[in-house]
Amino acid sequence: RCFICGNMLQKIINLTVRDVRFPTSLEQHGSDAMHTDPDYSAVYVVLDTESGLKGFGLTFTLGKGTEIVVCAVQALAGLIVGTSLQDIVSNFRGFYRLLTSDGQMRWLGPEKGVIHLATAAVLNAVWDLWARAEGKDPKQIISCIDFRYITDVLTEEEALDILVKAKGGKQQREEEMLSQGYPAYTTSCAWLGYSDQQLKQLCTDALQNGWTRFKVKVGADLEDDIRRCRLIRQMIGADNTLMIDANQRWDVADAISWVTRLAEVKPLWIEEPTSPDDILGHAAISKVKDCHNRVMFKQFLQASALQFVQIDSCRLGSVNENLAVLLMAHKFKVPVCPHAGGVGLCELVQHLILFDYICVSADLSGRMCEYVDHLHEHFASPVVIRNARYMPPKDPGYSCEMLESSVRRHEYPNGDVWKLPIQK
């Protein structure tokens, strides 16, 4: 503890940011109706402190344009280098607002797109540093949240009240998670670019490994979707769970007619049927959505435009903004089922969903966390899945640290992977 307290006073003396890309498009991993050839990538941030302690953070991207987010992180770096962890967390709401509401840079968002992805990468590194310190009490947690624009549905007092109430049974839930883990579902079996043969093989393997919940990418071709969904429903049987994800492919009317046809395979949810900005469109279609900031989540909840909240550790403004969303979801009694996969999203989001169960919702009904089985080998503390459940991470920090050898090899454009002509 003294080690940590001493470290909190040490200045952050440097921020390094690197463009790390994995050539996943080569095998169609991650392919969906809108993103047909993603190269899963990370904007990877390392904070150095005077004492030598490091904080690791990242945000997730799909390849091209990652350098734009790198440029945005560099623009934010001046706001963090020279401060200390103590400076930041003693007024974390203020620091959050410094990054998201700079008088000149907020024009580039505000709180959306490239600049918000960069904010997430930087703040994830701060949380990684801070996560090594002692436990946080409800007041400290509340002080991390910027309530600007959401006080009409959630005030600071209500939020504190939720956390204080959830203290009951906390230790029991911690023990439960440590022994049994948090329920997960898999998206690894049914990327859009996979052949039927691949789908079958992956489904067979997953069933053998204890998976009971499966997500299928749809949206490019209706007849093809029907065939693929039927195949998977047949493989997994009537009692297991199937979800579908259109990745923003449809207009509102398309979504309604398409989903009507796909109803025969009994999907639990339809993910991202249309534009991520279309709250009223989602209310008309009504399903599930991962939004770009707390203000969008607020309205999706107000408009009953989603039945499951999909938080994302790297699209929202880090833990700070996700805390606001978890608390609003609890208030609206909507289950949280996080988005994961990508690069490191599973590693990060497991912390958030465990926090949600232990400290906010105290409820597992209708809840599960997405899991995708790739790229974990590049992390210093990869997620542990046992019997289709996330086992709580035990290493200190926010699980963002990548292996230096992986980073070096995949750095764009000069890492070995990107220099070899066969790769791209």
- Catalytic residue positions, numbered: 217, 339
Does 57 contact a copy of itself by CB under 8 A? Answer: no
Q: Does residue 299 sit in helix, strand or coil?
A: helix
Does 28 contact a copy of itself by CB under 8 A? Answer: no
Binder among 4, 98, 108, 220 for a copy of itself (CB under 8 A): 108
Does 158 contact a copy of itself by CB under 8 A? Answer: no
The token pair that represents 410 in the structure block: 């995949």
Binder among 14, 16, 36, 387 for a copy of itself (CB under 8 A): 36
Does 122 contact a copy of itself by CB under 8 A? Answer: no
Query: In 31-155, where does DSSP find H-type helix?
Result: 66-77, 85-90, 92-100, 113-131, 138-142
Does 339 contact a copy of itself by CB under 8 A? Answer: no
What gap in Å lies between CA 228 and CA 248, rounded to an integer?
19
Binder among 23, 55, 109, 219 for a copy of itself (CB under 8 A): 109
What gap in Å lies between CA 398 and CA 218, rounded to an integer?
32
Residue with tokens 């990242």: 58
> Residue 223: which H helix or E strand, with range?
helix 222-236
What gap in Å lies between CA 84 and CA 81, rounded to an integer?
8
User: Please, which residue, 25 or 188, has the CB nearer to a copy of itself?
Assistant: 25
The token pair that represents 275 in the structure block: 């534009």
Q: Which of residues 172-191 bind a copy of itself (CB under 8 A)?
A: none
Closest to 313 in 3D by CA, of 398, 191, 402: 398
Does 423 contact a copy of itself by CB under 8 A? Answer: no
Binder among 51, 101, 143, 307 for a copy of itself (CB under 8 A): 101
First to last CA, the chain: 48
Does 277 contact a copy of itself by CB under 8 A? Answer: yes
Give the C-alpha distances (Å, rounded to integers) separating 16 from 82, 178, 180: 14, 34, 37
User: Please, which residue, 104 or 365, has the CB nearer to a copy of itself?
Assistant: 104
Q: Which residues contact 201 (CB under 8 A, 6 or more apart)?
A: none
Binder among 53, 62, 218, 265 for a copy of itself (CB under 8 A): 62
Least Å distance, CB 371 to a copy of itself, is 20
What gap in Å lies between CA 419 and CA 300, rounded to an integer?
44
Binder among 1, 2, 52, 104 for a copy of itself (CB under 8 A): 104
Residues across the chain: 424
Segment interacting with a copy of itself (CB under 8 A) among 213-221, 238-246, 247-255, 259-267: 247-255
Question: Which residues make beta-bridge pairs with 55?
Answer: 47
Least Å distance, CB 410 to a copy of itself, is 15
Q: Which residues bind a copy of itself (CB under 8 A)?
A: 34-39, 61-65, 67-69, 71-72, 75, 101-117, 147-152, 248, 251-253, 274-281, 284, 292-293, 295-296, 298-299, 302-303
